[in-house]
Amino acid sequence: MRIDTLPVGLVRAAAIAAVMVLGLTAGAASAADNDKPAQRNDGGVAIKLPQSPPMMPVDIGYLREEVAGPRPASRLDVEPDNAGIAGAEMGIKENNAGGRFMGHLYGLDVETASSPEEAVDALKKLYESGHNYIVVDASAPTLLKLSDWAADKDILLFNIRAEDVSLRQEDCRANVMHVVPDRYMLADALAQYLVKMGWTDWLVVHGSTDADKAYRDAVLRAAERFGGNIVDDREYVDVSGGRRDGVGPIPPAKPHKEANASHQMVKATDYDVIVVADEDQIFGPLMPYRGGGQPRVVAGTTGLTATTWSRGHEKWGATQANNNFEKANDRLMLPIDHMAYVATRTIGEAVTRKPKNDFDTVSAFIHGPDLQLAPFKGIKQQFRPWDGQFRQPILIATEQVPVSVSPQKGFPHASHPEIEVDTLGIDEPESKCKM
């Protein structure tokens, strides 16, 4: 049958099929053949397929300090082995989803250390193998040693663990970006919500560690800033080797001398909230269910907490993020995972915007006002220029669900009134940071 006698539709269909077959043939050619000029045979069609850009590796380091700590009251508070790392891997996956179109191939390399000295050796290893961007899960002293070693090198560190205020103040460093909020930000976020609810009288109970005392100090500062009233401030002293069943009572007021170990009653003081400062979760989860005390809301490091992430968070794309994370890791996302995710996504966003991956240019972009991230909290987020702290809303949540998001409305500030999140933590006029 002659082609010119076929219906027009069939002619077009035959032509499209021929082109598809030829296209598949061309796509199966070797890379060497693809580099050659397109050839046309008599009566044939040659198709030149576009080539993928050459892939530029962007290797990200992950440095985790592993040190023995006190056993929490609940085994549910023990972090899984891949805590943080799993979040970084989720960020790497998202970076590669877009990076392949820009010619960037992201990878994650993990190093562990058990001391500041080992951490510096691990950082040296990562740097010498081509890693300029390092996610750091370590204590404040170790982070400072890493920063000092990296001072004259093309290295940018992303702090996802250390909440110490001093790291954003007198000990701030230009080569450290703080993804994790400091204690002032967390205490301010919680205080705003408590005051907004009208719960202004607080009984503060803190542990005896330096971290617990630091969080207690942050709570006292937040009360003064936002209108909280500290009705009493008591210390819970954990006795090493003591009976686990003895953990948990609210300690008596200091003048209350007649209290004993078996029946610790609080003095007749009224309060709206028990604010707990127990960062290692030694006694906080058991309060106020043992010992005396009034049945009141428990907040702080247990109960109603200020946190960067909640397993029950479902707004602004968080449901999909939690589902994807759970599918990949057979567990729910923790705050440390979310912060590691933000760190790796920060690097991916900056390299995408500055595709030559020149370190000075990428670092300046991360420090500057043009970086805009949206990690499932409703607004664009970036780092504060005066201390390297990540600006971010803070979730106010129970163990199961978020109940609010801070900053709360009605707490204005003078320096950046258009940026509500700057009511949380150290504002620019009060900063001691000199980078």
Give how many domains the chain has, as a whole number: 3
Q: Is the pLDDT of residue 337 over 90?
A: yes
Average pLDDT over residues 11-22: 40
- Segments forming the whole domain that contains residue 25: 1-51
* Residue 237 belongs to a domain: yes
* Residue 333 belongs to a domain: yes
* Residue 419 belongs to a domain: no
The CA distance from 412 to 431, in Å, is 18
pLDDT of 425 reads 96
pLDDT tens string 62-95: 999 998 877 777 788 888 999 999 999 999 999 9
Domain identity same for 164 and 61:
yes
* Residue 410 belongs to a domain: no
Domain identity same for 114 and 204:
no
Domain identity same for 128 and 150:
yes
Q: Is 320 exposed, middle or buried (0-12, 13-18, 19+ CB in 10 A)?
A: exposed
3-state secondary structure at position 97: helix
**Residue in the structure block whose two tokens are 């970006």:** 177
Q: Is the pLDDT of residue 20 over 50?
A: no
* Residue 434 belongs to a domain: no
CA distances from 232 to 65, 273, 290, 292, 384 (A): 36, 11, 19, 15, 35
pLDDT of 78 reads 85
pLDDT of 154 reads 98
**Residue in the structure block whose two tokens are 């090493």:** 240
The pTM (predicted TM-score) of the whole model is: 0.83
Q: Is the pLDDT of residue 21 over 80?
A: no
Domain identity same for 74 and 47:
no
Average pLDDT over residues 397-420: 89
Domain identity same for 300 and 354:
no
Q: Round the average pLDDT of the chain to a whole number and report it.
A: 85
The CA distance from 312 to 65, in Å, is 28
Domain identity same for 150 and 163:
yes
pLDDT tens string 105-122: 999 999 999 999 999 999
Tokens of 173: 């460093």
Domain identity same for 1 and 71:
no
Domain identity same for 177 and 61:
yes
* Residue 275 belongs to a domain: yes
Domain identity same for 360 and 251:
no
The CA distance from 321 to 323, in Å, is 5
Residue 353 C-alpha from the chain's centroid? 21
pLDDT tens string 49-60: 556 667 899 999
Domain identity same for 259 and 221:
yes
* Residue 13 belongs to a domain: yes
Domain identity same for 191 and 175:
no
Supply the CATH number for residue 279's domain.
3.40.50.2300
* Residue 225 belongs to a domain: yes
Domain identity same for 297 and 315:
no
- Stated length of the chain: 435
